[in-house]
Amino acid sequence: MRFERLDLNLLVALDALLTERSVTLAAERLCLSQSAASSSLARLRDYFGDELMVVRGRQMTLTVRGEELREPVRAVLEQIRNTITVAPEFNPLTCDRQIKVVGSDYVTQVLLADVLCDLETSAPNMRVDILPLHDAPHEVIERQQADLLVSLDYALSPDHPSCLLFEDDHVMIGWDENPFMHSEITRQSYFDVGHAVARFGRMRVPAFEDSFMSRMKLARRVEVVAPTFLVLPKLVVGTRRVATVMRRLAEQMAQSEAIVLRELPFVMPPIREMLQWHVASGNDLALNWLVERIRLMASRDPAKAHLAASSSGRTASG
């Protein structure tokens, strides 16, 4: 590689020659033949227009130009060496970085909101841009349109690293004055009652519970389709409708909405929320630090993390 007509590979040879003041010793230091070291010296003399080293008696001494170059060349190589070989330190308190995270409003509510609260003190200059879920979530990582993706396990790319954040199951929510929510709920009555569901993006991608119903060929009476999970309580309060949502989210919703929670009258597998990043980001210190913070927040007991939810959330009995 050349810079201002200088082959940068010659800088290492120049440092050895100016330090050893001997072609033979410089060649040994560089693990080169003496003829190769001599060739490098000739090219350096041609570039600088100076002999750099001259024979005085039985020794070689540096010319004035050679003496002028000795310390600056050594300093440049040392700076390059430190930059390349010494891992930079990461300090979250001074990190000024924007991180793009793709995730649903559910993930934002039950996890990312707590992460952002933590970052206010642990990384006060870090900025987070939360982007909505894409119709094909894995593509935002493939194309490096975002730094992190929080999504269900089956929506991730198999070509990039990921980690499990948490699992969650589903419950049914309904208006606390809805007689249905205080009655005996059977499998049949669940499918007969009106439902509000959430579907996402331009393709109206179904949520997990919606996809589960389709895969199992179970038909519900869907009366309302919403673009987010967070509006579902508003769509069931004051009506006989119900919605099926993740338990962590439902428990938080019950703190502020006039809803009650009921267990489903059938078995639905839990969801697995995962965190994924591009394989090329493996040495990104800021991103690695944030991944660990998110994992730490996700590992907390949700009952303890949201004590108010467990103490004030209302659950109807059948």
Summarised one tens digit per residue, pLDDT across range 82-125 is 667 666 788 999 999 999 999 999 999 999 999 999 999 999 99
pLDDT over 60 (residue 308)? no
Is the pLDDT reported for residue 247 higher than 80?
A: yes
pLDDT of amino acid 230? 96
Reply yes or no on whether the pLDDT at 132 is more than 60: yes
Give the H or E element holding residue 287.
Answer: helix 285-299
For the cut 70, the answer to whether the pLDDT of residue 184 exceeds it is: yes
Res. 145: pLDDT tops 50: yes
Question: Looking at per-residue confidence, does 6 or 52 come out higher?
Answer: 52
For 5, the 3-state DSSP assignment is: coil
pTM, 2 dp: 0.70
Q: What is the mean pLDDT of the chain?
A: 88
Among 244, 123, 80, residue whose Cα is nearest residue 172: 244
Q: Find, among 178, 165, 288, 294, the residue nearest to 239 by Cα.
A: 178
pLDDT digits (tens, 9 = 90+) for 210-244: 999 989 898 899 999 999 999 999 999 999 999 99
Q: Choose from 30-44, 135-149, 173-187 the range with maximum mean pLDDT.
A: 173-187
Least confident stretch, 1-10, 40-49, 270-279: 1-10
Q: How far apart are CA 316 and CA 278, in angstroms?
A: 44
Tokens of 178: 């809805």
Residue 38 main-chain phi, psi, to 5 deg: -65, -40
Give residue 224's pLDDT. 97
Phi–psi pair at 76, nearest 5 degrees? -60, -45
Mean pLDDT of 237-258: 97
Mean of the pLDDT values across residues 15-38? Answer: 89
pLDDT of residue 86: 63
Residues 273 and 155 sit within 8 Å (Cβ to Cβ):
no
* List of domains in the chain: 2-85 (1.10.10.10), 98-167+271-306 (3.40.190.10), 170-269 (3.40.190.10)
